[in-house]
Structure formats: structure tokens, C-alpha cells
Amino acid sequence: MASKDMLALGSQASVIRDLFSYGQQQAAVVGKENVFDFSIGNPTVPAPACVKESIKNLVDTRESVAVHGYTAAAGDTAVRQGLAKYMNDTYDAKVGADNFYMTCGAAASLTITLKALVESPADEIIVVAPFFPEYTVFIANAGAKEVVLPPDTEHFQISLKAMEQAITANTRAVIVNSPNNPSGTVYSAETYGKLAVLLTRKSAEFGHTIYLIADEPYREIIYDDLPILYVPHFYGNTIVCYSYSKSLSLPGERIGYILVPDSAADAKDVYTAVCGAARAMGFVCAPHIFQDVVLQCLGQTSDVGVYDYNRKLLYNGLKDMGYDCVYPSGAFYLFVKSPEPDANAFSEKAKKLNLLIVPADSFGCPGYVRISYCVDPDMIRRSLPAFQKLMDSYKK
């Protein structure tokens, strides 16, 4: 007999995956070039050249065990030292190798961090809508209660007023994600500053630390010369969950890290609990070869210029047609208000035109859709008449 909870979870298909599969089936019927699949966040911009070069170099020059063998559970020391130096040079982070735990991407970083922090089923984790839907699954897996902060649909920053109301004596942590999936918003220094003041005050009021979990797989995918902010500088009790899935276009390779800075309360214990949680869930020793690849590619990213080009093409195109779009400052998603209250109905109408766009109900933001533009710019150009037709159907 299987676990009922896991059976239920395994049986539920995600809306994104459903649309993605539909797109593949539909391509066989109407032709690949006539399906406009904006459903999934799978980068099509190739990984930078250093990825291929370092893989070749590692395979050609190292002994098998030094490429494919186990590393330490937390990751190879030289890799973590290199990462620490990079973060110190770039962000003045003041970290060392022992602040890092290498993981299989952001999903692992988050599940491990949550497991390391949650103590009792009464513990609450606050998520800020709109948010990555898997947070709900990860929080349940850690045995905590999810508390959803309603979206600030005016600016898509964090409503401090709503946050103040959401924090209780049971709040263990708050998860933030910037640049944001799905809104494309980047949280400002002002937002982080105010959030830090609030979390510090509430931690004092309730007599325990409220941690901030900064989920940052899109850290470097940022536009308009906005600065990349190092969140622990604003709030010391921050645990950073990073991934190379998007910045280096390596989602299938499963590589990222958790950073527990010394500024976090009980940092050594939290780090040790991270090691314990990773061990309990079998997330030890992230893929060896990709630990070394990311070391050799520190500071590099895929060509963000392509995403920027797509962003402008889609944002300007859709705005001109009359769509109400959130201005995207980062990541590779355009968040659009549905012209009718039910975004599912809107997405269904779009689907009839072979436009695959994701209703944002599962992101905690009904009435919006997410358009993932990490696609071939040509597809965006070809899709514009369909977007126009869709808008026209609302004007009739």
C-alpha cells in the first residue's frame, strides 16, 4: 500500500506540465511552427562556451574518480572555496567554504533548508504571492504550514502591511524570490530594507529568529542595469538558495547551493542542520562534474541579452495590443492580467489559437497568466498575430 499523501501528489499533474505535453501533441497535428509554447521555464539560450570547454577539459584530463566519484557530502572543498571567493569579491559577502552546501538545484536547496528549519507541525512558512507553486509541496514535505501573503497587484513588491499581519508567534521563515517567477519583478533595496526592519522587530517580539529564505535561481537575469542585491546585507538572518539552472542554462544537470552566512542566528547549527536534512533526504554529494563546471564558470552566464530582446519584443507587442502587462525587470516571464476575470478561461481561449500560456491560480495570483519567454525570438514574432486575434475576441 502506497502512502496516500504521496500517491495523491504523484497523481496530480501540474498545469504547466499539462500545457507543455499538450503543445507536444498539438505540434504533431498542426506542425511545430504553429504551436506557440510559452508554458515552461526551460532556457533555450545555450549554456556559455565555458560549460562545454570545462566538461571536455575535466573528462580529458582528470582521473575518472576525480570527475565521477563521490565528493564530500557538502560538496568538494575546492569548489566551495572558489564559490566563497567569488561571493566575497563580487558582493563582499565575507563567507568561507564552510558556509556552502552544494545541492541538486534550487528545488533541493529549498527542500533541504525548510527541513533544516522546521521543528513542529505548528511552524509557519510565509510565501509571497505570486510564488513558484512547488513551494507548497516543499513546505508540506518539511511538515510545516504554508501561509500565503496576498499579491500586491499594484507594484508586485512585498506588502509590508500584509506581512505584518501574516507573521505570528509560529512564523519560522519567509520565502522570497527575486527576480520573481512568475511576475518578473525585482525586489528593490527599499523593499528588502523595510522587510528587514519588520522581521527584526517581529523576531524580537516573539523571542525567536524569523529566517528569510532567498530563492535566487534568476539572480543574474536582470535588466535595465538594475543592481544585483546580496540579501544577507539587508537582513543577516538570510539563507540563500541558489541554482545554476537558469543563469547557466543547466536545469537538467541539477546543480546549485545553499549559503548559510555567519550573520544568520545560530549559523553553525543551521548549517549543521542543513547537512542533516540533506542526509535524511538523500541529497548528499551534488553531481561531481557539475560542481567543477560551475567552479570553472564562476561569473559567467548564458546570454541574458537574448532574454532582454524577447522581453522587449513581447512586452511592447502585447502592450500595443491592449494587454495589461506587469513590467518585467528580471527572470524570463511576462505576467499579464487576464482580460476576463477567470484566467483559466482566458488560457483555454488562447489554447484554441495554439498559444500556450499558464493561468496563475497555482502561483497564488488568480486573474493573471504567465508567459515564459525563454524561447526562440522567432516564435515570439510568429505568435504575435495569435495574441492580436485573442485580444480582438475580447473587443467584439
- List 113, 141, 177, 185, residue binding ligand PLP (CB under 6 A): 177
- 97 grid coordinates: 567554504
The residue (of 181 and 238) whose beta carbon lies closer to ligand PLP is 181
Of residues 105 and 317, the one with the C-beta less far from ligand PLP? 105
Do the Cβ atoms of 220 and 229 come closer than 8 Å?
no
Q: Give the shortest CB-377-to-ligand PLP separation in angstroms.
A: 21
Order of strands, sheet of 211-215, starting from the edge strand that comes earlier in the sequence:
100-103, 256-259, 238-243, 211-215, 171-177, 124-128, 145-149
Of 111, 159, 183, 245, which one interacts with ligand PLP (CB under 6 A)? 245
Residue holding cell 552566464? Answer: 301
Neighbours of 91 (CB within 10 A): 15
CA distances from 237 to 127, 212, 257 (A): 17, 6, 17
Nearer to ligand PLP, 107 or 198 (CB): 107
Residue selected from 51, 87, 106, 295 as contacting ligand PLP according to rule CB under 6 A: 106
> Exactly one of 82, 217, 232, 317 binds ligand PLP (CB under 6 A); which one?
217
Q: How far apart are CA 366 and CA 341, in angstroms?
A: 8
Question: Whose Cβ is closer to ligand PLP: residue 158's or residue 390's?
Answer: 158
On whether the CB atoms of residues 261 and 238 are closer than 8 A, the answer is yes
Interface residue with ligand PLP, options 39, 243, 338, 372 (CB under 6 A): 243
Query: Nine-digit cell at 153?
Result: 497587484
Site for ligand PLP in 121-160 (CB under 6 A): 132
CA-based nearest residue to 214, from 141, 123, 110, 133: 110
> Helix/strand/coil (H, E, C) string of 69-107?
CCCCCCCCHHHHHHHHHHHHHHHCCCCCHHHEEEECHHH
Interface map 255-274 toward ligand PLP (x if CB under 6 A): -x------------------
Which residues, 355 to 374, sit near ligand PLP by CB under 6 A?
none
Exactly one of 123, 124, 215, 253 binds ligand PLP (CB under 6 A); that residue is: 215
Cβ atoms of 181 and 333 closer than 8 Å:
yes
Alpha helices in the chain (DSSP H): 4-11, 15-30, 49-61, 65-68, 77-91, 105-117, 134-142, 160-166, 189-206, 267-280, 288-296, 304-321, 343-352, 377-395
Residue 178 touches ligand PLP, criterion: CB under 6 A: no
Contact 132, 107 (CB under 8 A): no
| Shortest distance, position 139 Cβ to ligand PLP, whole Å | 13
Using the rule CB under 6 A, which residue among 15, 55, 79, 107 binds ligand PLP? 107
Task: Tell me the per-residue interface mask from 281 to 320 with ligand PLP, x by CB under 6 A, - otherwise.
Answer: ----------------------------------------
Q: Residue from 159, 178, 181, 329 that binds ligand PLP (CB under 6 A)?
A: 181
Minimal distance, residue 261 CB to ligand PLP, in Å: 20
Binding residues for ligand PLP, how many (CB under 6 A)?
Answer: 13
Q: State which of positions 32-61 bind ligand PLP (CB under 6 A).
A: 41
Looking at residues 314 to 353 of the shown chain, list those that interact with ligand PLP (rule: CB under 6 A): none
Q: What is the CA radius of gyration of the chain?
A: 21
Between residues 66 and 137, which has the closer beta carbon with respect to ligand PLP? 137
Give the residues lining the site for ligand PLP (CB under 6 A): 41, 105-107, 132, 177, 181, 215, 217, 243, 245, 251, 256
